[in-house]
């Protein structure tokens, strides 16, 4: 499958590596393609670095792996026409690092970053997922509890959620819960505050939530 990844930070690199490993043809969008030459050589396979617009135009599925504060700007550079009708898998969080201590949220319980992205790009099919998990666990759920834990999807389009769920299962995710429409991203985005405090208490990043029912 042709996949575009917008964002070349830790999350974007982890997702790109996994997607290439699974045989997908990936274009990573970034404002400075040259800075990723060394990393791209390590990834190998069917991956290349280009502009955000080229990455979005390439992908049947487009992944937003940017830092939340820059998500809308990065997707604007990607181009609304390049996102039209496509599944836009959003793994970002609305984290504000401008203060002291742990980051706060710049979107809270009456809205979500996922909803803002959907409103800004109404013809894209936004699916919020993986934002409650560290990058290494996103692409290798077996790092925690032999993979027996939970990932969530939120979105307005049932087919888009089904396609994202299929991709998640290829990563190794077995328990995928569909929370409902894109407004349910409010819950998973607010959960990042609990995640941050668990990180501090546990002293590591490799953990996740398991919904027991």
CATH number of the domain residue 70 falls in: 3.40.50.720
Would residue 208 count as lying in a domain? no
Positions of the chain with pLDDT under 50: none
Residue 32 within a domain: yes
Q: Is residue 209 part of a domain?
A: no
Parent domain of 69 = 2-202
pLDDT of residue 42: 74
pLDDT value of position 45: 67
The string of DSSP letters for 22-74 reads TT-EEEEE-S-GGGGHHHHHHH-SSEEEE-HHHHHHH-SEEEE-S-GGGHHHH
Would residue 61 count as lying in a domain?
Answer: yes
Q: Which pLDDT value is given to residue 30?
A: 87
pLDDT for the residue 4: 97
Q: Looking at the domain assignment, is residue 207 inside a domain?
A: no
Asked, for residue 211, whether it belongs to a domain, the answer is no
> What does the pLDDT read at residue 26?
95
Q: What is the pLDDT of residue 41?
A: 72
In a domain, 210, yes or no: no
C-alpha to C-alpha distance for 146 and 148, rounded to whole angstroms = 6
Quick one: pLDDT at residue 196?
96
Give start and end residues of each alpha helix (H) in 61-181: 71-78, 80-83, 113-120, 135-139, 158-171
> Which candidate, 126, 90, 88, 92, places its Cα nearest to that of 106?
92
- Residue 213 forms part of a structural domain: no
Q: For the chain, what is the domain count? A: 1
């Amino acid at each position: 499958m042709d996949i575009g990844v917008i964002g070349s930070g830790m999350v974007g690199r982890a997702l790109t590596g996994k997607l290439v490993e699974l045989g997908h043809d990936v274009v990573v969008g970034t404002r400075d393609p040259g800075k990723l030459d060394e990393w791209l050589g390590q990834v190998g396979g069917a991956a290349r670095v280009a502009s955000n617009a080229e990455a979005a135009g390439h992908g049947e599925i487009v992944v937003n792996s940017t830092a939340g504060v820059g998500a809308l700007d990065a997707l604007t550079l990607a181009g609304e026409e390049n996102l039209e009708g496509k599944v836009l898998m959003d793994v970002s969080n609305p984290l504000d690092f401008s203060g002291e201590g742990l980051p706060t949220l710049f979107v809270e319980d009456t809205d979500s970053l996922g909803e803002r992205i959907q409103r800004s790009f109404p013809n894209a099919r936004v699916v919020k997922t993986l934002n409650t998990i560290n990058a290494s666990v996103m692409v290798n759920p077996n790092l925690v509890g032999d993979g027996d834990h939970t990932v969530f999807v939120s979105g307005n389009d049932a087919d888009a959620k089904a396609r994202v769920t299929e991709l998640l299962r290829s990563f190794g995710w077995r328990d995928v819960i569909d929370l409902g429409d894109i407004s349910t991203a409010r819950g998973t985005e607010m959960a990042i505050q609990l995640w941050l405090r668990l990180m501090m208490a546990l002293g590591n990043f490799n953990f996740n939530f398991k919904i027991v029912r």
